[in-house]
Amino acid sequence: MSNLKLKLMKTKLLFLALVVISGSLLAQPEPSSYFPFDDNLLDQMENVTSQAEGTVPPTIVADADRGNVLSFPGGGNDDGNRITLSTNAYNAFDAVTYNLWIKANALDTWSRFFTFGTEGVSGAAVEYWSTPANGRLAQRMSVTIDEGTDDPGVEVPFGDATIETGKWYMFTAALDETHCKLWVDGVVAGDSAHAGTKPSSQTIEVAYLGKSVWPDPILNGYIDNFKIFGSFLSDDDVAALYAAEATGVKKASEALNMVVYTHNNQIIVNDPANVGINSVKVYNMAGALVLQDDNCTGVIRHDLPANLYIVKVQTRKGDFITKVSLK
């Protein structure tokens, strides 16, 4: 066999191997809608519309930790300061998960992170009580479902932990026909059954960020990376989201176009735009750092057991994050 044929055969086999490897990568769950709030209020998936409303509507500002974020001014409900989303942000799904980052300047009683529903009728909301109110405990984060005026629904408490002002937290809330679940910073905070209906069967007339349907205070603080998933995410999914977005803490740049794949006992990082790799960190699905290379030249050798992992590539122009499967 000639050297040329041998080289062509090796090239073809390498190409096939890369195709197989690429096909084995398991991406993080794809959101139905994603609002990064980097430059505008648009949903990158173009499934949900949004609009800033009120006398002092929310604006995009720079944050020292997370880059550009959405800032809410606080104030009374009559001000109407909020982001209003189209109602298909909720009632298009039989199960739904919301994921967002929150930093509060003040923890006002009844102030909500988001609301999907109809006043006193049905829907879901995530809200925070900083003081006891209506028999509820202080320092309590809840997911509520209202099935009607005679049914207050189900509340999933945050537990004994205390939310601090001036600090970023990732809240994740999932709902389906039988139960609702809450995670804080990727860790389960509450799980409760309910005898309700699935989101797609509920009457939803409003979808707000930073506002309640009641005359309650407007959120005084910031929201970042608001995502809607048309499914009930698993604990591993939520832990992976937190691991991917919390380390840094700055948001990943999706414009970096890095290529990360595995081959034998190697994690290979390709930098086609030559933006420069500062370090590569590998996390397990629980969010623990299991491997780090601060002088990565493109290939990292490892002896990690077969499993799913999060790979975070830190570059001069931002961070790139992906999930890989080691077999």
Every domain of the chain with CATH number 2.60.120.200 lies at: 33-246
Residue 4 has pLDDT above 50, yes or no: no
pLDDT bracket for residue 195 (50, 70, 90): low
pLDDT of residue 196: 63
pLDDT of residue 178: 81
Mean pLDDT taken over the chain: 75
CATH class of 252-326: mainly beta
Distance between CA atoms of residues 321 and 245, nearest Å: 8
Average pLDDT of the residues in 278-293: 84
Q: What is the CATH number of domain 33-246?
A: 2.60.120.200
Residue 248 has pLDDT above 50, yes or no: no
Residues 191/176, Cβ–Cβ less than 8 Å: no
167-205 exposure pattern, b = at least 16 Cβ within 10 A, e = fewer: ebbbbbbbbbeebbbbbbbbbebbebebebbebbebebe
The percent of the chain in helix, strand and coil, each rounded to the nearest 5, is 15, 40, 45
Which of 50-59, 273-282, 295-304 reaches the highest mean pLDDT? 50-59
pLDDT bracket for residue 165 (50, 70, 90): confident
Tell how many helices (H) and how many strands (E) occur in the chain: 2, 21
Residue 322 has pLDDT above 90, yes or no: no
H or E, element range at 8: helix 3-24
pLDDT bracket for residue 8 (50, 70, 90): very low
Every domain of the chain with CATH number 2.60.40.1270 lies at: 252-326
Number of other CB atoms surrounding residue 72 within 10 Å: 27
Residues 231/90, Cβ–Cβ less than 8 Å: no
> Which residues 6+ apart lie within 8 Å of 29 measured at CB?
229, 231, 233, 237
Which amino acid is located at 85 in the chain?
L
